[in-house]
C-alpha cells in the first residue's frame, strides 16, 4: 500500500508545476543595492567619508586605500551623490549575508594614481606660472600702485559737497 502511495506521489510530482519560485533575475524597482567604488576613478578626496552618516567609509591617503564596512551602511546613497569623480555607484544586487562585521578595503589603482599625480603636477605648474607672472608684473610696474594709492586723497570733491549750505 505504501509503495502505491509513493508511486502516486512520484507520478504527481513528475507532471505538476514546481512548488518553489525561481530566483528573480531582475531586482525589483526600488532596490537600493550596495555601494561599489571604481578605484580607477577614485582620487581619495575623502568627501564620501565625511558625508556618510554612519561612518561606514574610511579613506587612507597614505596607504592609498578606500574601505567600507558593509554592515554599517544603510544604503542612503549620500556618498554616491556627493562623489566628485562619480566613482561610487549603488550596485544593483543585494549585499552578501555574513555573520562577521568585515571591512572591505580597496587599493587605488595605478591608473588613478598616475592621473592624480598628473593633475597635481599640472596644478603646481599653474601655481608656479601664476606666481612668476605676478612677480614679473610687480617688478615692471612697482611705482604704479603707490601713485594710485594717492589718488583718492587728491580728490576732495565728496568732502566739499558733504554740506552744500556752509
Ligand atoms: S569615492 Fe569619490 S568621494 Fe570618495 S574618496 Fe573617492 S573620489 Fe572622493
Ligand atoms: S550609502 Fe550612505 S551609509 Fe552607505 S556608505 Fe554611502 S553614505 Fe554611508
Enter the pTM of the model.
Answer: 0.66
Domain 30-128 is found in CATH 3.30.70.20 = yes
Q: Which ligand is nearest to the CA of 56?
A: 2
Residues with CB under 6 A from ligand 2: 35, 51-54, 56-57, 68, 73-79
- How does pLDDT run across 5-54, given as a tens digit for each residue? 788 888 888 888 877 877 767 777 778 889 999 999 999 999 999 999 99
- How does pLDDT run across 98-113, given as a tens digit for each residue? 888 899 999 999 999 9
- Mean pLDDT of all residues belonging to the chain: 83
Q: In the chain, what are the helix, strand and coil shares in percent, each to the nearest 5?
A: 40, 10, 45
The domain segmentation of the chain, as residue ranges, is: 30-128
**CA-proximal residue: ligand 1, atom 4 (nearest):** 48
First to last CA, the chain: 129
pLDDT given at position 24: 66
Amino acid at each position: 500500500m505504501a509503495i502505491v502511495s509513493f508511486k502516486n506521489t512520484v507520478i504527481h510530482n513528475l507532471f505538476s508545476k514546481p512548488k518553489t519560485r525561481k530566483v528573480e533575475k531582475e531586482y525589483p524597482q526600488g532596490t537600493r543595492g550596495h555601494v561599489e567604488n571604481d578605484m580607477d576613478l577614485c582620487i581619495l578626496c575623502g568627501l564620501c567619508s565625511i558625508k556618510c552618516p554612519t561612518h561606514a567609509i574610511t579613506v587612507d591617503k597614505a596607504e592609498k586605500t578606500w574601505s567600507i564596512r558593509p554592515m554599517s551602511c544603510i544604503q542612503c546613497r549620500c556618498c554616491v551623490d556627493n562623489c566628485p569623480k562619480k566613482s561610487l555607484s549603488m550596485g544593483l544586487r543585494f549585499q552578501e549575508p555574513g555573520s562577521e562585521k568585515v571591512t572591505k578595503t580597496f587599493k587605488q589603482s595605478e591608473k588613478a594614481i598616475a592621473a592624480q599625480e598628473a593633475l597635481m603636477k599640472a596644478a603646481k605648474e599653474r601655481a608656479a606660472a601664476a606666481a612668476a607672472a605676478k612677480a614679473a608684473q610687480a617688478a615692471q610696474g612697482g611705482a604704479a600702485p603707490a601713485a594710485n594709492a594717492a589718488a583718492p586723497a587728491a580728490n576732495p570733491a565728496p568732502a566739499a559737497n558733504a554740506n552744500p549750505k556752509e
